[in-house]
Every structure is written in structure tokens, then in C-alpha cells.
Amino acid sequence: MATAAKSTTSSARKSSGRKRRTARRDPLSIRLLKQDHREVEGWFDEYEQLEDDAEKLALFNQIALALKVHTTIEEEIFYPEERGDVEEDMLDEAYVEHDGAKKLIAEIEAMKPGDEFYDAKVKVLGEYIKHHVKEEEQPGGIFAQAKKGEEDLDAMGERLKARKEELMAELGGAKSH
Ligand SMILES: [Fe+2]
Ligand SMILES: [Fe+2]
């Protein structure tokens, strides 16, 4: 074991300046769904910083509403339209993962912050969603296959947007968030 004094790891800088120009801009439906993903991921991170029960409840309600609306627009519009373009198994698993998330959401809604396992359940829900989002966004995943398919994903984006607005008003009692 000779001298390994010269470490090169510090210079292992990522070439952050390099812009990836390979992928063209996502079509509207994919952009909207990805935006939802980023938004809710941010809220799960925020949740971890909270101490106050009222704030936790308010943020969880915001997360739950966003997830209900998002899973509904995927199940009503995006997934059915993608049958044929996306592998059947992958779509089936996505529905099952949505169901799992909904059950966990219902469990948390029946509790209140401060209850045993409340924070743990919110954390696990976040991890569960992260996993599901990966299945949608990863190379070769649902979105990638959809983009290669036949559907007009820009036109579908308009439908997703309109349905989302309806559902936000319906389920959220017209709250802005
Ligand atoms: Fe999604
Ligand atoms: Fe999904």
C-alpha cells in the first residue's frame, strides 16, 4: 500500500456546463405530468422540515389533493390512451401502484399529526411515490414509451390540463392549492 496521497477525486467535477441537447422538448402532456411530479416531491421534502402539527396537516392535505388529482387524470386519460403504445405490464403495475398510494393516503387521512406512525406513513408515501415516478420517467419507462407511440401528446396535454382544473375545484373545494 504505497502512497495514495494524490487523490484525484476532488477534480472529479461533473461537466455541469455541458448542455444536453439530445432530447427535444417534451410534449405538453409529459411536461404537465412531470411538473406535478416535481411539485409533490418538493412538498414531501418540505414536510420533513416541519415541526408544527397544523402545518404538517395543511401540507399533507395539499399533497393528498395533488396526488388524487394527478392519479385520476393519469387513470382517466393518459394510461388508457397509452394502451397499445406502452407495455401492458407496465401500465398494469402503474394502476396497482396508484391503488397502493391511495390506500396509504386514506390511512393517513384517518389519522392526525402527532399520532404514532403519522410521520412515518407520510415518509413511506413519499418513497412510494418516488418509486412510481421513476417507473414513469426512467429511460424506457412509461413516458419514454409514450413519446415513441402514436398518440398526439400535445393535444392530450390540453385534456389533462382541463380535467386537472375541474378536479382541483371539485376535490379541493376550489382552493387554489
Ligand atoms: Fe405520474
Ligand atoms: Fe402515475
Domain borders along the chain are: 38-172
Ligand 1 centroid distance, CA of 79 (Å)? 10
pLDDT in tens, 88-142: 999 999 999 999 999 999 999 999 999 999 999 999 999 999 999 999 999 999 9
Ligand 1 centroid distance, CA of 98 (Å)? 9
Q: Taking ligand 2, which is a single-atom ion, which protein residues have CB atoms under 5 Å away?
A: 74
Q: How far apart are CA 40 and CA 37, in angstroms?
A: 5
Ligand 2 centroid distance, CA of 121 (Å)? 19
Q: What burial letters (b/e) apply to 108-144, b meaning 16+ CB within 10 Å?
A: beeeebeeeebbebbeebbeebeebbeebeeeebbbb
- DSSP for 126-163, please give it: HHHHHHHHHHHHSTTSHHHHHHHSSS-HHHHHHHHHHH
Q: How far apart are CA 62 and CA 109, in angstroms?
A: 12
**Higher-scoring residue by pLDDT: 25, 95:** 95
What predicted TM-score, i.e. pTM, was given to this entire model?
A: 0.84
Q: How far apart are CA 20 and CA 81, in angstroms?
A: 29
Of the bound ligands, which one is closest to the alpha carbon of residue 98?
A: 2
Q: For residue 17, what pLDDT is reported?
A: 46
